[in-house]
Structure 1
Amino acid sequence: MRPLLDASALLNIVKRAELDKLRDVATLDLVLYEALNAIWKEHVLLERMDWNTAYEFSKLVSEVFNVIEKHGIEGLELDILQQAVEHGITIYDASYLTIAVKKNFILVTDDERLSEKIKNKIMVKNSRSI
C-alpha cells in the first residue's frame, strides 16, 4: 500500500527536508490550499515565520505539489460527507480518508486527533514513520 499524504504530513516532510520520503506517494489536489493556509497562519497569526521564510517555503511546497501524484474528490462528495458525519471530522479530513479507503492507500497524517478518530477504519501513519 502506498502513502497518501495530508497537508500536515507533507508540510512536516518538507520542513524537515526529508524529500526522499516523497517518492511514490500521492496526495489530494486540495493539499496546496491547506498547505498555503498553514504557511499563512504561521506567518501572519502565529508570527513563527518571517515573510522571506514563508515565501521560500511556499515556493518549495508548490514545486513539490507540481511533481507529486494528485487525486480529486469529484464523484465522491456524498461518500465524503458520510465519512465526515460518521467520524466527526471535517470535510477536508474526510476527503483524505475517503480517497485512502477507495484507492487502498495508507493515510499519512501528523494530525493526532484525526489519527485517533479513524485508526479503526484505515491504516494511519505519521510522517516520521514512513
Structure 2
Amino acid sequence: MKTPSNSTVPTDQSPENILEVTTPTRLVHLDDKTIGYQLPFRQNRGKPPNRYSPDIGKTSKYPIANHVSTEKLSEPLKAFVHQLSAIHIPTKVSEALKDPKWVQAIKEEMKALEKNQTWTLETIPEEKDYRM
C-alpha cells in the first residue's frame, strides 16, 4: 500500500517518527479527599494489649470461674486443679530471684539458650542503669 504524497504520516520508522496514540487522562478530585483504605491511628504505642496481662482473670469481663466448676471432679482431680491454681507466677525478675525454684528454672533456660547458641550473655555497659 502506498502512502499519498500529501500525507503527514512519516514513512521513515526511526524512533523520532514513531507515532504514539494517547488518550487524554482525566483526574478525578472528590473535594480533595483521599480515596482508599486508611489504617486507624495506633493507640497502644508499643504496649501489649491488656489481654496479655497476667492479671487478666481479675479484670476479665467473663472470668472462666463463672462458667467452669470443679464440683463434679473426683477428689484427686479437684486437689490437682486447686494445686495448679495456687501456683504464683512472678511478674518481675527481682520477685523471681527470691524463689529458689525460679532461680533454678532461669539457670536451666540460660544454659539451654547458650548450648543452642541462640543467646549470648553480654556484660552491661557501665553507663547503663540495670537496677531490678
TM-score tier (shorter): under 0.3
Give the TM-score taking structure 1 as reference length. Answer: 0.19
Structure with greater strand percent? 1
Question: Which structure is richer in relative contact order (CA contacts within 8 A, separation 6 or more)?
Answer: 1
Structure with greater helix percent? 1
The higher radius of gyration belongs to 2
